[in-house]
Structure 1
Amino acid sequence: MSIDLKTMAIAGAKTFADVWQFDDYWKRSNTFHSFLRFVDAAERRWGKGDPALQPMQDLRTTLTDANAAYFRPKIGNDYVWADDYGWCGLACMAAYDYLLSIGNRQRADEYAGLAGDCCDQMLKIGFDATDTATPVQHGCGNTSPDRKRRDGGHGTRNTVTNVNLLLLANRLYLLNGFPNYQDIVYKQASWFAEWFTQSYASLDNGPYLRTLSGPVSLVHERPMAKKTYVEDDYPGWERGWTWSGDQGLLLMALATIIRQPMVPPGFAPQVFKDAFVKLAAGVETLLFGGTGQVLHEPPFNSSFGEQYAGDYVGGRGVLLRYASEPIVTEALGRPLRPACIVATMQAVWDSRSRHENPAWNKPDVFDSSWDTQGAPAFNQRFVQAWGNGEPGLSQWQLGSNILYGVMQANGLDALTAAIRLETLV
């Protein structure tokens, strides 16, 4: 598989070079992070000095030069949301790591400064510093300055916003030791631990981290409970909704808490270890299926529907990128199920020649659907096990609004996971 995988990686990067420039703050951030981690994985596998990697290394330099200028003037913009800053801040810290590794301290510090600005914006517009939220205090809502002025409050306290804040604040604390970042890290870790351990009346199809027999768990897109956690918009919520990207983000956060360690006062380390093991088992058991154990997105209209499909289509890539990070593998004691990673990587590669959306005009870009043949069987099995979802749902409702950079980065994340498997051998 080594030669074939290397060929795939080189070709995938070449295609990304033609599609990475688009104007969308969070997607630009996420795809930047994706490419940085992809090139890092390739270098660790085949060596930084391998001449075959030079084109992707040159593209990394191009992205790193361009994206600081793209992000900087948008910080503080009325229409940038709290979760957008989380994606951007973490991408900036990945850029910091790369630039520091090549001895470019000045540019590295520039990106670290952008990451700090992103975190500060999250705290300013989304974080609830009061003790009034019920049943769990604090948390960071997903809102924008514009929405905050219009609607008030802290916005929707969903999974992605809160994991991103935890991970970003932790990176910044490790970088500069500022106690305010440590305080946020502990508050965010406590926020998750409270949801994992507290008894409350859920407004969803079960607890926030829902556990089925096995035990296997998945985390919902957001916690739903009275009195504070009742937001059902931005984006539109539906019962049982769970998103693939959240699973990868939370695996990364839990692994970080376990391995660093950074267990907050008042909670036992076992709370996080149990959640981590059950979540990893849930991902392996509930999200891989269909033809050849390929990774699928849980079939919810909130993810696949026309309004937000362009956001949620990238979730599988986020899951594969974070779930294959070395710290997650170390915490689990093994990589996520290798046969599933390899099957998914092959399905992603094969999707280049199969585009069912008539608006698709870039045939070399990875498709939004990776396993159309296996989707019906996966959906039926998932809905039967989880109790919610739409078994007939399989096509992403992207219409003509296709951001090819998102689709290509999504596939590069699958290659990243497969490359990291080879590195472990």
Structure 2
Amino acid sequence: MKRRTFVRNTSLFGASLFSLPPLMTLSNCKPEVPLKSLLKKQALLSFWRFTEVWNFKDFWKRGNTFDACLVFVDALQNQWPDDSDVIEIQKEVEKMLKENLEFFHSYDPGKLWADDFGWWGLMALNARKHLLKIGNIELANAYLKLSTDLCWEYKKKTAYDNSDEGFPVLHGCRNGDANGESKGVKNTVTNVLLFLLSSRIYRCLSEEDIANGDKYLDMAYRQWLWFDEWSNLKDYEYLKKLTTEGVLVQERPMAFVEGSTYIEKIHPPWAEGWIWSGDQGMLVASLIDILAIADDLDDYLKRTNIYPDFDTGTFKSKINNLIKKLAKGIQNGLIANSDGIIREAPCYSSFGPEHGRDYLAGRGIMVRYLVQDEIKKHLNIDMTDNISKTFEAIWNTRDIATNQFKPEFTTAENDKLYIEQFRQLWGLADDVYEWNLDKMKEKNKFGVCQSIGLDVLGATIRSLNEN
């Protein structure tokens, strides 16, 4: 089906979908075929709307939203590999990737921030996978080069703290600018991006039998040590326990003690108890990545004599235990008991006017990682029904005329119940119900909101084969 033909019919078709009974969840839908058919139609409408709003000028958001698109299209291709509509989407994505590379190179990299490079580096690796599938090797190689030679190198050279001045934890990654004019803070998102980017580049190179992966393995391990040391410092509750079961990682490690280098409350404004959903998913993904390469890590540490006493068994056990604790924290803390929908933690620092536009995408990012096959098998939770209910809410609150998804897709009544649920589990919560996006351009907002829907819809589609 040609794009123009399809777009002409979206409004009428979208209205017909909206008039159907509420979306059937994966757990109660029988027979299977009608659900697959419905999801495919929703996927087509959602994607073509994304093509209308993705081309906005906001660097990190554009990198992240396109990563959501790539993972979503991969789910479509896995489910309907020979479908003509899906093949048409793959071709459209190829065109978009060419434009995206031009967009990246239009920026002065010195003016970008450390986390910008993380988002684009991860997107570039998924772009490579997509392009290799469709046979565009030249563009695939260009995206690998972007990930390794530009994104990773900038984070290593300008953001990673090689000094011995960090207290109570050495090293880690600062969210400063590439020119070095602002050092920035060592928040969670910047550090988990370097952790995940390092491990994913290493795995990409290993799987393709490309040499020179040691430096990425080394950095992945360094970042693990930074997170591990913080988790061992119980007094600071960087990994904070819920009152029931599980832990969640806070958005920034803070230590208000004499000599501490972790006391900065700005860039962006910090508040006690602040957590972000995106951090949770990316940290779990990073841990599972380094678990997958534990044997390679063992060989590297002993071969280089960096840590000759490294014990693989102890390492794997510790990682597995932490993964399960985080998974339980996500299940208990970021899913509402009232409606089963995945939520953002009620923290004003995420929702507020200063940086609400930056943290809006977190729910989609978390789901994007947690539903990957390799990750799901390590978790002690099943979010299949919650993901289905979340997409149902996203779909049923969309703008019917355009199939544009919205920032809020839950009811105020259930939001109030969730805030109280979170407060009892976490000890702190803000009474926030809506994202303050006054400082966000409309097209940027549309692109980010559509990417959240693509993340959750892609996860729903991936779950089809499990039922």
Q: What is the TM-score normalised by the length of structure 1?
A: 0.90
C-alpha distance in structure 2 between counterparts of 1:127 and 1:220, whole Å: 20
Q: Percent identity?
A: 35
C-alpha distance in structure 2 between counterparts of 1:92 and 1:269, whole Å: 29
Which residue number in structure 2 is paired with residue 351 of structure 1? Answer: 397
Which residue number in structure 2 is paired with residue 340 of structure 1? Answer: 386
Letter in 2 for 1:185: A
C-alpha distance in structure 1 between counterparts of 2:200 and 2:385, whole Å: 32
Which secondary structure does the structure 1 equivalent of 2:339 belong to? Answer: helix
Say whether the 8 Å CA contact 2:243–2:426 is kept in structure 1: no
| Deviation of 1:308 (Å) | 0.9
| Deviation of 1:197 (Å) | 2.2
Which residue number in structure 2 is paired with residue 85 of structure 1? Answer: 117
C-alpha distance in structure 1 between counterparts of 2:128 and 2:377, whole Å: 23
C-alpha distance in structure 2 between counterparts of 1:255 and 1:423, whole Å: 22
C-alpha distance in structure 2 between counterparts of 1:97 and 1:235, whole Å: 33
Question: Unmatched 5+ residue regions in structure 2?
Answer: 1-34, 206-210, 302-306
Letter in 1 for 2:425: A
Residue 428 (structure 2) pairs with residue 414 (structure 1): no
Say whether the 8 Å CA contact 1:259–1:327 is kept in structure 2: no
C-alpha distance in structure 1 between counterparts of 2:280 and 2:436, whole Å: 22
The C-alpha deviation readout for 1:284-338, integer Å capped at 9, x for no partner, is: 111111652111111111111112111111000001101111221122277x421
| Deviation of 1:268 (Å) | 2.4
Which secondary structure does the structure 2 equivalent of 1:295 belong to? Answer: coil
C-alpha distance in structure 2 between counterparts of 1:87 and 1:254, whole Å: 18
Letter in 1 for 2:217: Q
Say whether the 8 Å CA contact 1:44–1:423 is kept in structure 2: no
Say whether the 8 Å CA contact 2:245–2:332 is kept in structure 1: no
Task: From 284, 287, 292, give the equivalent of 1:254.
Answer: 287
Letter in 2 for 1:249: M
C-alpha distance in structure 2 between counterparts of 1:42 and 1:173, whole Å: 26
C-alpha distance in structure 1 between counterparts of 2:197 and 2:184, whole Å: 19
Which residue number in structure 1 is paired with residue 227 of structure 2? Answer: 192
The correspondence of residues 260-299 of structure 1 with structure 2, limited to 5 A, is 260-261=293-294, 262=297, 265=307, 266=310, 268-289=315-336, 291-299=338-346
| Deviation of 1:63 (Å) | 1.6
Say whether the 8 Å CA contact 2:199–2:290 is kept in structure 1: no
C-alpha distance in structure 2 between counterparts of 1:291 and 1:30, whole Å: 30
Which residue number in structure 2 is paired with residue 394 of structure 1? Answer: 433
Question: Unmatched 5+ residue regions in structure 1?
Answer: 355-361
Letter in 2 for 1:87: W
Rate the CA distance shift 1:75–1:93 in 2: closer, same or farther, 3 A.
farther
The correspondence of residues 142-221 of structure 1 with structure 2, limited to 5 A, is 142-145=175-178, 148-149=180-181, 151=182, 154-174=183-203, 175=205, 176-199=211-234, 201-202=235-236, 207-221=237-251
C-alpha distance in structure 2 between counterparts of 1:248 and 1:104, whole Å: 30
| Deviation of 1:423 (Å) | 2.7
Residue 141 (structure 2) pairs with residue 109 (structure 1): yes
Which residue number in structure 2 is paired with residue 382 of structure 1? Answer: 422
Letter in 1 for 2:125: M
| Deviation of 1:257 (Å) | 1.8
Which residue number in structure 2 is paired with residue 330 of structure 1? Answer: 377
C-alpha distance in structure 2 between counterparts of 1:161 and 1:75, whole Å: 20
C-alpha distance in structure 1 between counterparts of 2:336 and 2:36, whole Å: 24
| Deviation of 1:136 (Å) | 1.4
The C-alpha deviation readout for 1:214-250, integer Å capped at 9, x for no partner, is: 4311110011114121121111000000001111111
Letter in 1 for 2:253: P
Rate the CA distance shift 1:421–1:75 in 2: closer, same or farther, 3 A.
farther
Residue 285 (structure 2) pairs with residue 224 (structure 1): no
Q: What is the TM-score normalised by the length of structure 2?
A: 0.83
| Deviation of 1:363 (Å) | 4.8
Letter in 1 for 2:362: G
| Deviation of 1:71 (Å) | 0.9
Say whether the 8 Å CA contact 2:335–2:341 is kept in structure 1: yes
| Deviation of 1:74 (Å) | 2.1
Say whether the 8 Å CA contact 1:193–1:271 is kept in structure 2: no
C-alpha distance in structure 2 between counterparts of 1:4 and 1:291, whole Å: 26
Say whether the 8 Å CA contact 1:32–1:63 is kept in structure 2: no
The correspondence of residues 5-16 of structure 1 with structure 2, limited to 5 A, is 5-16=39-50
The C-alpha deviation readout for 1:91-133, integer Å capped at 9, x for no partner, is: 0111111112223222111001111111111112210012321
Which residue number in structure 1 is paired with residue 31 of structure 2? Answer: none
C-alpha distance in structure 2 between counterparts of 1:178 and 1:107, whole Å: 21
Say whether the 8 Å CA contact 1:14–1:55 is kept in structure 2: no
| Deviation of 1:346 (Å) | 0.5
Which residue number in structure 2 is paired with residue 357 of structure 1? Answer: none
Letter in 2 for 1:46: W
Say whether the 8 Å CA contact 1:72–1:114 is kept in structure 2: no
Give structure 1 regions of 4+ aligned residues with deviation exceeding 4 angstroms: 262-267
Say whether the 8 Å CA contact 2:244–2:425 is kept in structure 1: no
Task: From 96, 107, 120, give the equivalent of 1:74.
Answer: 107
C-alpha distance in structure 2 between counterparts of 1:220 and 1:90, whole Å: 22
C-alpha distance in structure 2 between counterparts of 1:139 and 1:75, whole Å: 25
How large is the RMSD of aligned CA atoms in angstroms?
1.9
Say whether the 8 Å CA contact 2:65–2:451 is kept in structure 1: yes
Task: From 399, 408, 413, give the equivalent of 1:369.
Answer: 408
The C-alpha deviation readout for 1:377-400, integer Å capped at 9, x for no partner, is: 11111122211121x211111126
C-alpha distance in structure 2 between counterparts of 1:193 and 1:59, whole Å: 42
Residue 79 (structure 2) pairs with residue 45 (structure 1): yes
Which residue number in structure 1 is paired with residue 24 of structure 2? Answer: none
Q: How many residues align?
A: 405
The C-alpha deviation readout for 1:246-269, integer Å capped at 9, x for no partner, is: 111111111112233357755622
Deviation larger for 117-126 or 210-219 = 210-219
Letter in 2 for 1:367: K
